[in-house]
Amino acid sequence: MDASVRPSPLSVRSAASSLILWARSEASRPHPPSHASRLAIPVHPGHPSALAWLRAQRFPQKLFFRSRSLDFEVAAVGFVHHATGPRFTRDAHLELLHILAPDDSTQRFYGAARFDDGPNSRRDDLWKPYDGYTFVLPAVELYRDPDGGFHLAANFYPPAGLDLLTRVLVNIVPTPLSIFTSNPAALIPRADRVADLTIFPDWHAAITTILRDLSTGQYGKIVLARRKRFSFNPHASPTPVHILAALEEQDALKTRHFPPLNGETRPQDSAEQRNSYLFCLQLDHRSAFLGCTPERLFRLEGQSILAEALAGTVRRGSDGNEGQVLSELMSSKNLEEHRFVVDYIRTALADCGVQADTNGPHVRRLPRLMHLATHIHGQFPLPSDTSLNGHRADVGGNASGSNVFKLLRTMHPTPAVCGMPREKTITELENLEDFDRGLFAGPLGWFSREAGEFCVAIRSALVHDNDVTAFAGSGIVPASESRSEWDETELKMSAFTDLFQPAVHKPHVRTERLLMEMVTPLLAANLSLHDLHKLENGDTYPYGTCNGSNTTHVRSGLSGLSLHENSLGAPPPSRSGSTNSLDSSYETCNASTPVGPSSLDFDASMLKDMPNLNTLWGCCVIEELCRNHVNTFFVAPGSRSAPLAVGVVRSRHAILHITHDERGAGFLAVGYARATGRAAAVITSSGTAVANLLPAVVEASMDNLPVILLTADRPPELREVGANQAIRQCEIFGSYTLWTKDIPCPSTCIPLRNLLSDIDYAVHKSGSGSLSSSYESGPIHLNMMFREKLAPDHQAWDREYVNAVGTRWQKSLAPLTQYHSTSSTCTASLEGLFHDLQRKVAGVIIVGGGCGCIRTEDEALALYEIAETLRWPVISDVCGGLRLNKWKKGRLVHYADQILISRAATQALVPDAVLQIGERVTSKRVYELISSASKVCSDRDEEFAHVVVSRSSKRCDQGFTVTHRLRSEVSEILEAVKMVPRASGKRESKLMVLTEISDKMDMVLQKMMQSSVEGDELTEPWCSRVISECTPAFSGLFVGNSMVIRDMDAFGRGRADGMHVRISGNRGASGIDGVVSSGIGFGLGLRREVTIVLGDMSLLHDLNALHLLRRGGAEAWHRVTVVVVNNGGGGIFSMLPIGKHRDVFSPVFDTPHSVEFRHACDMFGMQYHGVRSVGGLRDALNDGGDGGDGGGRRHRMIEAFVSGDHGSNAALHQRLGAAVAQQVASFFAGQGTRRSARCGAGAGAAEEWTT
């Protein structure tokens, strides 16, 4: 559908309300149809991923499916129909097709079938909920169509009734900011226990048998699978959707970071080549099947069929060994394995009447692996009337529905997951594998009446209660070797081991090596783990195939070693995900390497292993912060803060960012909080390191931003005695923190629960991540004293001290104390206020920045609905979230600051009501509009209403005009507005004329700016205009203070591609320091590319922050673009009255300089673009590559040189302002003949705009 005719998207909540009304209407039909019905409403989900939305939902039944080509994804909640059975038959398929609406191709069944659904197949109880097949019709879906638009859809199925569908819709929630800016993998708990359910001796014995059968020609190939189980504590078990989100993030990171191999310049891989299917089928809280598979079974659209052969696998190589890896991939073993699969699929398609063509093999590069892949495509013949054996009419006259079943039954399982010949190998696997594969390696996907798409569910896992069981298989052909095949399956399961693998003592690596050396002579004899335990306990080897010397050797080697279920598997992979051979693993820890608990990641179960009390306390502080979802740490180096730094480094959940500058660290946390609404923690040493945090603390306090400050301090006996680096730290930030506590030195006299409780209260008090407006947000200061020893060296302490913390805390990921928030706003109490606002005739909504600004698309849509209900225009500040983004139906005023230059406008546009969302407004003229309106209404004896809404309770009334101060969220205000019936005959606000003037102003400003300079000369207004146009969609824009933000507010252009850019700036105290650091923190929080725009003086203040991009490129992995507007000094002062006093103006105020920043880019490893023209700036911003001298550098600086004549810049602004004022005046003059100036502000009555 063309975007111009696409219905305007609603918020998720509003769409859910509409779907409830529709469902009730469907249920009330006197003769409901036997099939399901469906309604889909375009929505803005608040995030470009349906998976983020799904994470916020709390219903036990969930589903997620994303195609490998990324052109479709669906997240679903609740099932109105759930079909299962022992075997997926043609009749079962036709029965489901009958349920689907005949006139809606987007209604689909989703599900999966077993790898082997034969009558004699092994069936374990774990797979019982899924039976032979499981297909579901979701109750509510959030899906993304191929055009990128999102829809919230409901499926009503009469036999299921209305109750479930209504319950799901009532409880649908939008995606909160805290979810879609979070790191899903950060709080995945570590498994308590990891068990290879297939041990290596049994694996080796099975492959020995297979190789013998292959040599006698019993079959040509077989795929052997094994399992690994991760068991979790009941108090710390991850949810399936959380696991899926972590898998998605993990693979996205690896894909994004992997460089071209050997420096080659190859065509960019398509999304098909880079990505995998992502799926989750969660039947209830206890059971779910999920995975991330690269293998397509087929995709059917109409008569067109696309299939794929994916067989032959090697580990993905590094830059230097691409040739060696490709040689291994193209080995005879892999090519033979691949040929089996290609031949089989072509034969299977031929049996369906499809003559298939092939394209391949080619190399499929995935983050961890490389595969051989061949594309196979063809066309089904057009069906005759009898081709469906009488069933054609049953599926709406479309043969595609029947073809889905044909393909499922004929193609599955392919040799890639079972072997050749199919029936023979399936039978053999019953004997070779001692477990039920269930849905692993089975078909999973969707079908409609007209199409279908199924993947092969490899790289998958079954979640059951507190266990996650991962599966992987490897194709065995005559050239196979047991060890390499084991390593291949280990690599295929590494996505799960990377997430769940517990910390392993490195001495276990030596144990693995020793065990393998000892048991090698026994492998051929099928020695099991049970037998090794018997040897360990002194029993003799029972089978007589191993001589006594070997038995003695094994028994002596096992003496004193504690065997566990994973003992004989491959060495546990490192945290980076690599799975090395035994030899290479052993080399990392030889017998002389001292290894103890201090070398391991911190885990709550290891409290007693801490080397000293300082380390214990430091680790517990970091752990408790992470449990409260404060898992991002900006650490400045220092000796006194070592216990805290050690805690961050050893935490599995903490995300570490190192910065050498404490001032910058504070501003990084400020930017991060602006993006996420959550606190980051800043760790510093003592002394002036703490004092350097003050500017950031002030900014955070002024704009209600949550920040946790962890400052290390000397012990109390070293205070006030002249000790080095000891200052008064505890109250150093004065009233700018919400809570400050001096935490004493670690001591067994202070219960550990006391420390944990302090951390929990600190996070609660900061307001971090709060979904309610009932809590104030702001910086928190915990001043932590430490005595020596500061390093994690061993020191005696009472290990029983930790017992008092309790087992619940040690065995879970929950904080000691959990604070729960509720809304403070009673919408019913606001009914009278909004009833009065409904009666106003000249109302306007003003959206400010800072606390209360619009941060998500869901908030923007809620605001739009408020504006539609009140029928008022919306003026947005540049940091309000809307100003530079195109809105709908003409309610947004883009150029209010420029329009209000005109005296005619300020006289004609007198609002009688202002609803202000957010606290900070950049434009002085907008403030003056409010103040003037208040006075005019008072003089006329009319009531004036100024309602300010934000999440804080701070006073926000610099003009003393506020009549109502609401501490609330936009969504809560929307509910209050909806409670008030719209007055009959309600007209548009008289100030709606602003939108018409603003729309025409865009063209006028463009022409005036072009004519005001010679040629393509770059000016400061042009910088703001071009940057606003060229900032990438779905990115962040962080705007510095002084002249830059004022120009952006005055001249920035609304985007043509919708609201896709998050905009922010430090307007709390409006300082010019810390802008680069704040912008980098903003990008880190958004997890998007960010553009930072600032002036030259501002960059000089924060130049050392660029060092973060040199050393922290992997940490700040989203691209950072710094645009510095260089006018040679403090140009803003030329706009102020002091600019007229030339005797003092320079150099005291304009502070001239001749600095250029090219060499700073060389020093910090950034791309550099110096531009002096409008076209040059536009080209530099649009350059997605290295851009000239980039040299492969990711981050970049664009230095925009504008005139250093500050007087000429002031004159340019005056000329533009005068021209705008003249045009606005002529507009109102043209209206004056028809209505009075006051009434002449009606919408739609404008004369032609003259330019």
Listed ranges 386-390, 1114-1118, 1228-1232; the one with the highest mean pLDDT? 1228-1232
Residue 1160 has pLDDT above 80, yes or no: yes
Task: Give 856 or 1175, the one with higher predicted confidence.
Answer: 1175
Average pLDDT for 1036-1052: 92
- What pLDDT sits at residue 180? 60
Residue 533 has pLDDT above 50, yes or no: no
The band of 315, judged by pLDDT with boundaries at 50, 70 and 90, is: confident
Residue 506 has pLDDT above 60, yes or no: no
Contact (CB, 8 A) for 60 and 284: yes
Residue-wise pLDDT for 170-208, tens only, equals 988 877 666 666 666 667 888 888 999 999 999 999 999
Domain range 193-258+269-483, its CATH number among 1.10.10.60, 2.10.109.10, 3.40.50.2300, 3.60.120.10: 3.60.120.10
Rounded distance between C-alpha atoms, residue 1206 and residue 1129, angstroms: 9
Percentage with pLDDT > 70 across the chain: 80
- What pLDDT sits at residue 182? 67
Residue 763 has pLDDT above 90, yes or no: yes
Q: Does 601-799 match 823-1013+1208-1251 in CATH topology?
A: yes
Residue 637 has pLDDT above 50, yes or no: yes
Task: Give 1059 or 229, the one with higher predicted confidence.
Answer: 229
Rounded distance between C-alpha atoms, residue 200 and residue 202, angstroms: 5
Rounded distance between C-alpha atoms, residue 848 and residue 853, angstroms: 6
Average pLDDT for 381-403: 55
Two structure tokens written together for 758 = 């302090």
Which positions ≥6 away from 953 have C-beta within 8 Å? 776, 965, 967
Whether CATH 3.40.50.1220 fits 823-1013+1208-1251: yes
- What pLDDT sits at residue 181? 64
Which positions ≥6 away from 178 have C-beta within 8 Å? 629, 676, 677, 678, 769, 771
DSSP 22-70: HHHHHHT-SS--SS-EEEEEEEE-SSS-HHHHHHH---S-EEEEE-TTS
Rounded distance between C-alpha atoms, residue 606 and residue 504, angstroms: 12
Residue 1246 has pLDDT above 50, yes or no: no
Residue-wise pLDDT for 963-986, tens only, equals 998 888 887 788 778 777 776 677
Rounded distance between C-alpha atoms, residue 1034 and residue 47, angstroms: 9
Give the CATH architecture of domain 1020-1202: 3-Layer(aba) Sandwich (3.40)
For the chain, which residues make up each domain, given as ranges? 3-84+123-180, 193-258+269-483, 504-591, 601-799, 823-1013+1208-1251, 1020-1202
Residue-wise pLDDT for 923-943, tens only, equals 999 999 999 999 999 999 999
Residue 127 has pLDDT above 80, yes or no: yes
Least reliable range by pLDDT among 130-139, 307-316, 687-696? 307-316
Q: Which is nearest to 1242 in space by CA: 842, 870, 840, 898?
A: 842
- What pLDDT sits at residue 441? 96
Residue 215 has pLDDT above 80, yes or no: yes
Average pLDDT for 480-487: 93
Average pLDDT for 240-249: 89
The band of 1075, judged by pLDDT with boundaries at 50, 70 and 90, is: very high
Average pLDDT for 269-275: 50
Residue-wise pLDDT for 69-97, tens only, equals 888 999 999 999 999 999 999 999 999 99
Residue-wise pLDDT for 342-359, tens only, equals 888 898 899 888 888 988
Q: Which phi and psi (to 5°) does residue 1125 adopt?
A: -90, 105
Residue-wise pLDDT for 397-442, tens only, equals 455 668 999 999 999 998 889 988 888 999 999 999 999 999 999 9
3-state secondary structure of 945: strand
Average pLDDT for 683-689: 96
Running DSSP on this structure, what letter comes out for residue 138? E
Residue 954 has pLDDT above 50, yes or no: yes
Q: Which is nearest to 61 in space by CA: 44, 76, 78?
A: 78
Mean pLDDT (the chain) is 81
CATH topology of domain 601-799: Rossmann fold (3.40.50)
- What pLDDT sits at residue 821? 62
Residue 866 has pLDDT above 60, yes or no: yes
Q: Which is nearest to 91 in space by CA: 305, 409, 397, 561?
A: 409
Percentage with pLDDT > 90 across the chain: 47
The band of 156, judged by pLDDT with boundaries at 50, 70 and 90, is: very high
